[in-house]
Structure formats: C-alpha cells, structure tokens
Amino acid sequence: MKRIILSLLIIYFFSLQPAQAYWIWTPKTGKWVNPKNLPKDNPGEQFAFAKSFFDVHKYEDAKREFRKLLKAFPKSAEAAESQYYLGLTEEKQGKYYEAYQAYQMVIDKYPFSERIQEIIELEYKIAERFMSGEKRKALGVTLPVDNPAIEIFAKVVENSTYGPLAPKAQYKLGLVLKGLMRYYEAEEEFNKVVSRYPDSEWSAAAKFQIASCRSLLSKGFAYDQGSAQEAKERFEDFVREHPDAVLSLDAERNINDIREKEAEASYNIAVFYEKQKAFDSAKIYYNSVINDYTNSPWAARAAAKLQIMEHKDEKKN
C-alpha cells in the first residue's frame, strides 16, 4: 500500500514540472511570479523591448510592455518616453480620447520632458478631430459631456497659456460652445481671446463671435431687445474697427437682421396699443417705425396702419 501511495506522489510531482517551469520565486516580492510578467533588468532594455512591438504594429503588446516599464521604473528617463508612446499607440488604434489622456499624463507627471511642445500640438489636433465630429472607435471610457473638444482645447490653453497654439485653441473652445448653443459660456471664452491675446490674429474674429453670441441670445423664445441692442452695437464696433475684414460683411448682415427685428418689435408694440385703444401711443410707435427703419418692410406696414387710423379720425370729426 505504501508503495502505491509513493508511486502516485511521484507521478503527481512530475506532472507539475512543466507548469512550475513558468514560475519563479522572487525574494524581493516574496511571491511566485510568472517570468512573462516581469520587466527586463533595466529601463533601457524594457523600453527597447516595448518599442519593438510598437514598430511592428503590435499595439496591445506594446502597451503592455510600456506599462510594465512605468510600473517598474517610474522615475527613469525612459518612463516619460514610455508614457508618450502609450499616447501614440492609443492614437494609432483610433482611441483619440485615451490618447489625449496618455499625452496629458506626460505633461502632468514629467513636465521636463522634451516632448511637451510636441504633445501640446498632438492634443490640439485631437481636439480638432472631436470638433469636426470624430467618433471614438473604442468602448470602455466615459467621455466628457457634449464634446471632448471642450476639455482638450481648454487643457491646451492651460498647458501653454501664452504658447503659439493658445489663442487659436481659446478661440476654437468658444466655437465649440457656441455650436452647442451654450452662448454665455462661449462669449466668456471669446472674451478671453480678446483680453489675453489682443494682438493675435484671432482677436478680431473673437469680437465678431461675441456680437454673434449676443445676437443669438436675443433670438430666444421671446425677442430680447436688450441683447439685440448690445449685439448691434458690438457688430457696429467691429465694422468700424475692421472695415476690410471678411467678417465685416457678415457683421453688416447681422446688423440689418437686428434692425429688422427692432422694427418688427416696435410695430408689434404699436399694434398692441392700438388694440388697447391707446391710439396716441400707437401712433408714436408707428411713426417710430417709419422714421427709424425707413427701408424696412415694417415701415410700409406702419404707414398703412397710420393711414387707416387717420381715416377713422376724419370720420369721427
């Protein structure tokens, strides 16, 4: 019986040998580990090993090895470069938001990296992708509300407030918010372009956009005369300051549109007073439309209304 038990133990021991060959004891961790999960002996070798996968487009393998380096040698010179390559790898796979996150980690953790300016440019291009409607190709990451371009353009400005891309990124941040009809926030961002970068090529365009946001705010469910008046004044200022700008033609069209709205509003007030039999007040507003908005279709309507009222007055007399 003892011989049988001994024989079974020997068979069991030898059956475990192939599996045990993949595990080793590490005194440093006090654990059995699979050598496949261990990094190379130094960060230089590990980086070269990871990049060898990147170079042949084996991106998942590359990411695994770059992460090993970051975990094992977080303070090495190769760590910053590995984090940068993680961003490149995510971007190669079409995972643009994940790429942005990886790039930003370089700036946050390794601010002395020689890649910083290059990374800011890469982040800017990713923001432009999202601005133009680029969709994510991977699942598993919760994207910011509305449009990731909002977060990324803001981060580009934060990373390099007075860098070459900052004015453009600030302006485009405003455009994204405007496109989402978040006009107050958009106006705030456009104001930053004007105040922070008054000499940049984007300053004039930002002034136009501020006026445009004011104009759009006046076109809500109810006509907002105050916002419309402010928008008109801003458009007029823009035309005076930049008479030769391409956007001045758009500004003039916006001014005409606002004047039409003003004429319509005054006409409707006159109609209201007329219905309330406050004829003197109605005449004042009808005359205001005729005198202040001579070329508007509302001026002709107001003139017709006055003629009818005068005809009624003659009948009474």
CA atoms within 13 A on the CB side of 251: 26
CA atoms within 13 A on the CB side of 118: 10
CA gap 262, 266 in Å, rounded: 6
**Would you state the pLDDT for residue 278?**
78
Instruction: Evaluate whether 61 touches 53 at the Cβ level (below 8 Å).
Output: yes
Per residue in 96-117, pLDDT (tens digit) is 999 999 999 999 999 999 999 9
**Would you state the pLDDT for residue 129?**
94
CA gap 301, 306 in Å, rounded: 9
Examine the pLDDT at 17 and tell me if it is beyond 50.
no
* 207 Cβ contact list (under 8 Å, min separation 6): 190, 194, 234, 237, 238, 241, 242
Per residue in 201-238, pLDDT (tens digit) is 999 999 999 988 988 887 754 556 667 777 777 777 77
Instruction: Evaluate whether 147 touches 180 at the Cβ level (below 8 Å).
Output: yes
Q: Region 175-190: what's the mean pLDDT?
A: 94
